[in-house]
Structure 1
Amino acid sequence: GPFVRLQCYEGISVSEALYEWNYAQQLLAIRIAEASSTSVTAADLCSEAFLLDRPLLKAVRHPGPIPAVLLIDEIDRADDEFEALLLEFLGEQSVTVPELGTFHAVVDPVVILTSNRSRELHDALKRRCLYHWIEFPAVERVADIVRRNVPEAAAPLVSAATAFVGRARHLDLDKPPGISEVIDWVGALYALGITQLDAASAQATLSAVTKTPDDHRRTIEAMSSQELTVEDST
């Protein structure tokens, strides 16, 4: 079935998640009706012909037989109102369009919600989901992911950078660095012509890894005290 992705953010609206009307086509229909001296009603304009499916409605209206896969990414970035909007969808596998009624899924979509735990989700939403916690990968797995994204980087550089970030994650940081930070860091090191990571090059490019002033200071202090070191991976 199709893969449908909905990226959440603060203030996401119904028109971006569920549906919206094709206003340009509605206006064109009105102009054509005026030119031909015919009437057009609100019911005519609010018909399925003018309905634009957004991710939730698209997943519900997929005819099957293989179900659609809907990824609702970073649900914790959305607000409480959007969570409430999802309750009908997750509980009943349906979406209501006030002008047209309720659309029920012919084949229930496979729905995956992701969260970075920037805030707690409501119990009503969690009751409609199966929960799976994904641990941060082992250093070897992170290195493999980095090599796939920055294949031109030297192997010792990738190994040293991923090991360094793995140890840095054990510091008391506001935002522990993730895989995306490792990829960005290795890419930056490669662009600077660095093939071997040492303390000087790590400290000079640390802004690719730490994302707040406090985290930057804490990491520098840990390096200065030898609590956090750069290991030779040659």
Structure 2
Amino acid sequence: MTADPVSRLPGSIEETVSLLGGENYLAGRSLATVVFLALKMKRPLFLEGEAGVGKTEIAKVLSRALGRDLIRLQCYEGLDISTAVYEWNYPAQMLDIRLSEATGERDRDQIEAGLFSERHLIRRPVLQALSPTLGKGPPVFLIDELDRADEAFEAFLLEVLSDFQVTIPELGTIRADAPPIVIITTNRTREVHDALKRRCLYHWVDYPSAKLELEIVRQKVPGCRESLSREIVSYVQGLRRLDLFKNPGVAETIDWATALTELDRVALDPETISDTIGTLLKYQDDIARLAGSEGAKLLAEVKASLSAEA
């Protein structure tokens, strides 16, 4: 007999830390606490923070760790119900109409009932999330970058997040037998309405401390030399204090460490930074700012700080 998927949920904050850590996601206690509560209370988890701090990764990690399917809804301007929720299979419906005509079927109600049935319903991410996979339990439903969607679509989500149901005019209301694990992320390009936030547990995902970021680099890029890892983390932490147009996230730190490891670098120097800065910074104005004395000053501070620690 297959074990009840619900029994695999963590039973404490410490177990949640271990669960995430088992998938190489190092979470602080505050994040682990809100994840544990969201799972325990069956409430959506609303994660805000700068791009690249690991918000989306939380949903992926939970999916793997809990053995659940991951349903991802990537939000963007103009996202509508036919793309996000459902649409009808129009070619198949037209074929049914032609077959009805060919066989002489005249019962209009019967024809219409056949056209607007589950057989012709194309389930998009929202409907998929309301349908648990046999033997796995409710899926992890990632609503990614909600702030990019229109306010009208955000308002539509209120029904989904309140009652975990969707109303289809031709079929009626479809309800989830058990609520999915909902993770909502936003980069705060616009404010999300309070009505939606009230239905969720909230957490701000900040940039990690130097200690935590160093441990992340160790886990994600095990081939990177310890001394180089320390320089990389110290340099990135310094960049975030410069108020750049776009601060590098943890994802960029990992990319940079990977790139320098592939190039067999053992330490940071001005030439190495200049050659590889495109893996770390994504805006020319930020790159140009570091090309002068400010970049040299930061590197000198990193070297001096690490020498003092040694």
Distance (whole Å) between structure 2 residues aligned to residue 2 and residue 175 of structure 1: 33
The equivalent of 2:290 in structure 1 is: 219
Q: In proportion to residue count, which structure has more helix? A: 2
Q: Secondary structure at the match of 1:67?
A: coil
Unaligned runs of 5+ in 2: 1-67
Q: Deviations over 1:70-90 (max 9, x none)?
A: 121221222212211111111
Checking the alignment, whether the CA contact within 8 Å between 2:130 and 2:138 is kept in structure 1 is no
Q: Does 1:23 align with 2:90?
A: yes
Q: Distance in 2 between matches of 1:42 and 1:228?
A: 74
Give yes or no for contact 2:235–2:299 (8 Å, CA) kept in 1: no
* 1:59 aligned onto 2:129: yes
- Corresponding residue for 2:81? 14
Task: Please show how residues 57-206 of structure 1 align to structure 2 within 5 Å.
Answer: 57-62=127-132, 66-206=137-277
Say which structure, 1 or 2, has more relative contact order (CA 8 Å, 6+ apart).
2
Inter-partner Cα distance in structure 1 for 2:263 and 2:79: 39
TM-score (norm 1): 0.85
Q: Which digits, 9 at most, give the CA deviation of each residue in 1:107-164, with x for residues without a partner?
A: 1222121112222111221122221112212223323333444343333333321221
Q: Give, in angstroms, the shift of residue 64 of structure 1.
A: 7.9
What residue in structure 2 maps to residue 3 of structure 1? 70
Q: 1:172 to 1:146 in 2, by over 3 A?
A: same
Q: State the distance in 2 between where 1:57 and 1:91 align.
A: 15
* CA deviation after TM superposition for structure 1 residue 176, in Å: 0.9
Q: Tell me how far apart the structure 2 counterparts of residues 226 and 2 of structure 1 sit (CA, whole Å).
A: 44
Q: Distance in 2 between matches of 1:163 and 1:226?
A: 10
Cα distance change of structure 1 residues 15 and 165 upon mapping to structure 2, 3 Å threshold: same
> Could you state the TM-score of these two structures normalised by the residue count of structure 2?
0.66
Percent identity of paired positions between Structure 1 and Structure 2: 45
Q: Secondary structure at the match of 1:20?
A: strand
Deviations 1:149-207 (A, max 9, x none): 43433333333212211111111112110011112222322333323222321133222
Query: Quick one: which amino acid aligns to residue 244 of structure 2?
Result: L
RMSD: 2.8
Per-residue CA shift, 1:24-45, capped at 9, x if unaligned? Answer: 4334433443444445733321
Count of aligned pairs: 234
